[in-house]
Amino acid sequence: MEDTPRQLIVLCDGTNNNLTGGRADTNVLKLLHRLPPGDARQQVFYDPGVGNPGELPSATLLDSLSRRLERIAGLAFGRGAYENMAESYAFLMRHYQPGDQIYIFGFSRGAFTARAVAGMVNQFGLLRPGLENMLPTLLHVYFSSRKGSARKAQVAAVSAQIRSLFTDAQRREVWVHFTGVWDTVASIGFPPFTRQITGSPTIAGKRMRHVRQALALDEHRRPFEPRLYLEDNIFPANAEGQTLKQEWFSGAHCDVGGGYAGAEAALSDQTLDWLAREAAEQGLRLAPPEAADPARQRMVHCETWGTPWWAIAGLCVRDPRHAADENGRRHAIAPVAGPAPAQTSAQAPALRYPKDTIWRRARRAAAPLLAGGAMVLLWLAMGLCLAGGLAGPGLGDGFGAAAVANAAFAAWQLWPFDSIGLILPNPEVATKTALALDLAFIAAYGYLLAWLASRGFAALAGLRGIASARRPLLNFLGYGLTVLVAADLAEDLATLLILLFQNHWYGWLLGLLGLAMAAASLAKWLGLLLTLVLLAAGLGAQLWHRSQR
């Protein structure tokens, strides 16, 4: 038994992914279940995703709110990511012995964490135990910008100094034996709070022995764009004994990384089997897998089906034939399709849209109907605020006054200047109240348009393959709702600042704010135009798919 190498295994889950009692585990947890119980020569570290699981009860209402806020902070700002990386690296620091094999796995943001930890081991080696106070420094250096030869040289010099001072000879050049990830996200957090790995997405010249990545062909959410390796697959091994397999599978993000209920997990179990088999071939000791249920559905999911808000963050189809380097430059690569499930490879028909997707199911219309009703009421209330009240006793008078006032205000926001200078709004009108109502109006129309756009985009995208054509026009239209909502919020902010400063003699500042408001207003209308084009094209695609049934 002593001849069997010790294995240090790090498993990093994605945001809000954690224990589910087996109901909807990710592939990270399912792989953990496959590790043989009682193997004293395996040391395991499991890192739950940021945000506690909804399946576990909250202690109090405040605890429940705290969990939700933690998840939002994790998604929006990348909160918790550095802590996850530090804890994973610290586990390796404390437990590593010469001759150990290091295996690192992750999904989604956990894959980002896994690759960062592997990169830190390559860049710094493993610090001696007891130096945990140095982890913030390591993270700072690892994520420092490397743009330009001077910065790159400085990072290299500091990294060499860390290896010299805080590692010993047996820890200075440790190899990560196996890195296995499902659909690594390219960045964490939303703009302007995004954080990316600044190193090159390659394995050449690095102490990473075997690398595997499973990627989703049918993910539409722009914030989940993947971080691809720049090299083509390396197999058999190169002169340094390194191998790389990066393969594409049908399905969305969680169809590759897991997280759906067992009856709908056929696609993610396929990628689990693939990556587990690859790890086992490189020495990972695993228990035999349980027999798969042949009745499971091969269904392609889409998170925008149930959470349309994602469409506001942007929609896109993925391009398997190009990968971005650390500077954002795109390079051509040779994509490889993942293997079909072993038990159905000969019989399984090709997946089809919408028959084999979540979009075959009807969505509840209550929420978009409520959003549409709220839009009408809020539009009427804004118009009446701007008009100074009802123009007459009838409902038609109210709508007429609201329409005229809203149109006049929109025209002023689009170009608030005359031959003399900036035109200031009427101080007798409740403009600030109208702006407050407009925030709710933006939320209402944002949800309604996201609900419609997500379906239209899915119909236009269909199901992808590694040979599918690039869709630059569709990706451009996928920005429309993002531009519309962001520009509308910027327009409101500029308008509010004009209202706050209009009684002060900051003529130059008011002029700049007027130009900013006009630019935001123009962008808003362009965003609306792109969104309407997407909706119209999407409706046509839906009708075409319906005719093909």
- 49 pLDDT band (50/70/90 cuts)? confident
The whole-number pLDDT of residue 188 equals 86
Q: Nearest to residue 336, comparing CAs of 257, 273, 224, 245? A: 245
The whole-number pLDDT of residue 263 equals 87
- 346 pLDDT band (50/70/90 cuts)? very low
- 67 pLDDT band (50/70/90 cuts)? low
On whether the CB atoms of residues 255 and 261 are closer than 8 A, the answer is no
Q: What is the pLDDT of residues 264-319, one digit of tens each?
A: 999 999 999 999 999 999 999 999 888 777 767 789 999 999 999 999 999 999 99
pLDDT at 446 over 70: yes
pLDDT at 326 over 70: yes
Question: What's the CA gap between 451 and 364, in Å, rounded?
Answer: 11
Q: Nearest to residue 84, comparing CAs of 64, 57, 66, 111? A: 111
pLDDT at 519 over 50: yes
Q: Nearest to residue 230, comparing CAs of 216, 257, 211? A: 211
pLDDT at 394 over 60: no
Q: For the residues 441-466, what does the mean pLDDT come to? A: 98
Question: What's the CA gap between 162 and 125, in Å, rounded?
Answer: 9
Q: Spell out the alpha helix ranges (H) of 47-188.
A: 61-77, 81-95, 109-124, 135-142, 149-166
Question: What's the CA gap between 172 and 170, in Å, rounded?
Answer: 6
Q: For the residues 448-456, what does the mean pLDDT come to? A: 98
Q: Which residues face 7 on adjacent strands?
A: 42, 101
Strands across the sheet with 336-337, in order? 42-47, 7-12, 101-107, 176-182, 208-216, 243-249, 336-337
Q: What is the pLDDT of residues 176-202, one digit of tens each?
A: 999 999 999 999 877 767 788 989 999
Sign of CA dihedral 309, 315, 317, 322: negative
At 244 the three-state DSSP class reads strand
Helix H or strand E encompassing 180: strand 176-182
Which residue matches tokens 């309407």? 532
pLDDT at 77 over 70: no
Secondary structure of 302-337 as H, E, C letters: CHHHHCHHHHHHCECCCCCCEEECCCCCEEECCCEE
The whole-number pLDDT of residue 323 equals 97
At 103 the three-state DSSP class reads strand
Phi and psi at residue 482, to the nearest 5°: -60, -50
Q: Is 69 or 544 the better-scoring residue by pLDDT? A: 544
Question: What's the CA gap between 154 and 141, in Å, rounded?
Answer: 10
Mean of all residue pLDDT scores within the chain: 91
Q: Is 225 or 340 the better-scoring residue by pLDDT? A: 225
